[in-house]
Chains A and B, each alone.
Chain A
Amino acid sequence: MSEMQLPLVIFTVLSQTAVGLVVISAVRQHAAEGPVGRVRFEWLTAAILLLVGLGASLFHLGHPLGAPTALKHLGKAWLSREGLGIGVFTALVIAGFLSAKGRVNAALAFVAAAVGVIALFFTGMTYAPPSFPAVNNAMPIVFFLLTAAMLGAGFASYFTPAEKMPLVTRILAVSLVVGLVLYLAVPSLWLSGGTVMQQTGMNHLLSPLYWGRIVIGLVIPLIGIWKMRTVPSWAPVLILAGEIMGRIAFFSLTVHAASNLGGIY
């Protein structure tokens, strides 16, 4: 999308991390037997991630004070729906943190998780406009769900008791494998599209950002998990670095349809 869009990179990655963290926390507390871990601190982390992300998102606006008016077009604009979804999700996460006594109330935890996933869907639709043929489809939603799964499971490992680490390790390992296969396959699929999609595919395959993300964010953490049979404490940090690189690639290497006016599409 021609620019790095750093505020949007920070906002999307951190908000999706929070969604994953809350979903895994809800499952770990209420859908699996045994101790639940440091839930209150986990929800505080999710709230901080969301607030930092929302703060960063203001910096991509020409007029940040006008941000509240971005909720005016809920009938049609996915960006308005995204703003509402993330706003409600943030409120629920803060409520979960404030009300948690050992555990977060089951209904609140699952409602927050569901709203988070819906908000993630809205974000995916926002970044799938017709002007970018390579991502004018369900791929942004899939990318963002993978971010939530990988970073959610990764960061959840810091708050998970030893008894439930195998569950979180399995979720993270499966997410990393799916992510590795998907991110290796997608650029080659783009190569089979029209000129603009091919340019997007080539931009990725020739970019150190893309390969850096594959190695740092996916391969090395997978090897670490495979060797140690659990989530190493350094793995979530590497996955976060990889996701940030991947999101910068998403915004900067995806080619706009208008870039080839006068040429073949």
Chain B
Amino acid sequence: MKKQLAFYIDSRRCIGCFTCAMACKNQYHQPYGVIWRDVYELKEEIYPHRERAFYSLACNHCENPTCLNVCPVIAYYKREKDGVVVHEQDKCIGCGNCIRACPYGAPRYNPVLKRAEKCSFCWQRLDAGLKPACVLGCPTRALQIVDLAEFDEPNAVQYPAGFPRYPGLNPSVRFRLPAMPKMIRRKL
């Protein structure tokens, strides 16, 4: 398998602090309402506990990206060296097709520039030998980058409950499931 960078989301460690989302915002200063990374709380139907659990999600840099396939102006490309899906915003005509087509809601419409945009995996930082801003900002190391060609974590899950399953896209993301809380009850 070729090198494919992926986000590893450790839901046991994630405390829902939104630092990853803020780090992304600080790095790129997107206009109000344009969010590349967001933190989603698991709904009670999936995680019915007093504790809460979260997924920090952005673009999954899929092996077979829908955004790339549907873009009529070829504004997307996938980097050979690490599998990062890059959006070239100057080519974008703002048709919104990628925004409609991505089942993970990664591309967003920038109303100021009138073009789509999405998480770039901070490829400029990667090329400089740095971590993406979100990964660097995470205070609990709940968000990490891994290379799927070498990743060998037996408990990692690609499609946990609460995350849409699209094998045809093969999203480059892995999760560690949140811990099940231990119930301690007093004997009567």
Interface set of A (CB-CB < 8 Å, partner B) = 1, 60-64, 66-67, 69-73, 76-80, 83, 126, 129-132, 256-259, 261-265
Contacts and interface: CB of A to CB of B under 8 A. Distances in A.
B114 interface: yes
Given A262-B43, A263-B162, A77 B69 contact: yes
Interface in B30-45: 40-43, 45
B143 to A, nearest CB: 16
Interface of B: 40-43, 45-46, 55, 57, 66, 68-74, 91-97, 100-105, 109, 113-115, 161-166, 168-169
Q: Is the interface of B mostly helix, strand, loop or mixed?
A: loop
A262 B95 contact: no
Contacts of A78: 70
B103 A83 contact: no
Contacts of A1: 100
Of B41, B43, B45, B95, chain A has the most CB atoms within 10 Å of the CB of B95
A261 B42 CA distance: 8
A50 to B, nearest CB: 19
Interface of A is mostly: loop
A258 B105 contact: yes
Contacts of B95: 60-62, 70, 79
Nearest to B69: A76
Contacts of B103: 129-131, 256-258
Given A130-B168, A262-B162, A62 B115 contact: yes
A187 B184 CA distance: 46
A63 B116 CA distance: 11
A126 B71 CA distance: 11
A213 B40 CA distance: 36
A255 to B, nearest CB: 11
11 contacts: A1-B100, A70-B73, A73-B71, A76-B70, A79-B97, A129-B100, A130-B169, A131-B105, A261-B162, A262-B42, A263-B45
Contact of B72 (A71, A261, A263): A71
Contacts of B46: 262-264
Contacts of A263: 43, 45-46, 162
Contacts of B101: 129-131
